[in-house]
Amino acid sequence: MSNDPYSLATEAAAVLRRRTGVDDFDVALVMGSGWVPAADAIGETVAEIPVTDLPGFAAPAVAGHAGKVRAVRTSSGRHSLIFLGRTHLYEGRGVEPVVHNIRTAAATGVRVVVLTNAAGGLRPETQRVGEPILISDHINMTGANPLTGSTFLDLTHVYAPRLRALAREVDPTLAEGVYVAFRGPTYETPAEIRMLRTLGGDMIGMSTVLEAIAAREAGAEVLGVSLVTNPAAGLVGEPLNHEEVLAVGRATATRMGDLLGQVVDKL
């Protein structure tokens, strides 16, 4: 097994092709906390394997992440990779495992990446729990980046306007917002939430941005969708917990799956 992250991704892609019987994939979807049940509505499952069967992948350490990768054929005949779970920076494995899924997907031919997550809402005055919000931009507060050295990557349109427009064709009610990523695993303090509102953030979470950067490095377009599962800390006076995140995901799984399935068919 190679120590180079890009070679490791190529090795994982080769195993993925062999195990699924699919040579090239069109789109990859990463299902965040609570989003796993939505995967069933995206298309017909061709194959499903544990991610630990692929070089460079470890089992997810977070409840609500299934630790599998699924090959799906959509109604329009496209082949999609669905990662049922992800690795988070707070797990302590470093940056490379966090973006290994994206680099593996790119090595299979994927040129569109759909990133989903569960997020706290920074604007409860306008956001409803259970509401999907398109990510228009992000603020990286993780202190990390998957790129090193003199690799200067333009992130002006990291979340593709074209893909957001396609999503709004499916659901014109979709709002947009700026996603803020913290390293975690602690939830943010009320003071941090007030700071992020001042900075222009709309949703807060612990994933997505590093994957988005890796996808753009690979030349893929990115669509990001946050599911608001709770108001952020200090905005309503209630403590935060992961069980609430998963419950909202289960309650909205059908709607989220239909949304993603229709968007993928339009790509």
Give the residue numbers marked as catalytic.
33, 65, 88, 90-91, 118, 206-207, 230, 242
Cβ distance 225 to 167 under 8 Å? yes
Q: How many CB atoms lie within 10 A of CB 68?
A: 20
Max Cα distance, the chain (Å): 51
Q: In the block, which residue shows the tokens 């990286």? A: 140
Q: How many CB atoms lie within 10 A of CB 212?
A: 27
Angle, CA of 136, 67 and 111, to the nearest 5°: 40
Residue type, 158: V
Task: Report residue 89 as tokens.
Answer: 């920076």
Cβ distance 126 to 214 under 8 Å? no
Q: How many CB atoms lie within 10 A of CB 156?
A: 5
- 198 SS3 class: helix
Buried b / exposed e over 239-254, threshold 16 CB at 10 Å, is: ebebebbbebbeebbe
Angle, CA of 203, 140 and 137, to the nearest 5°: 55
Cα 101 to Cα 215: distance, rounded to the nearest angstrom: 10
Phi-psi category of 235—alpha, beta or left, where left has phi over 0 and alpha has psi -120 to 50?
alpha
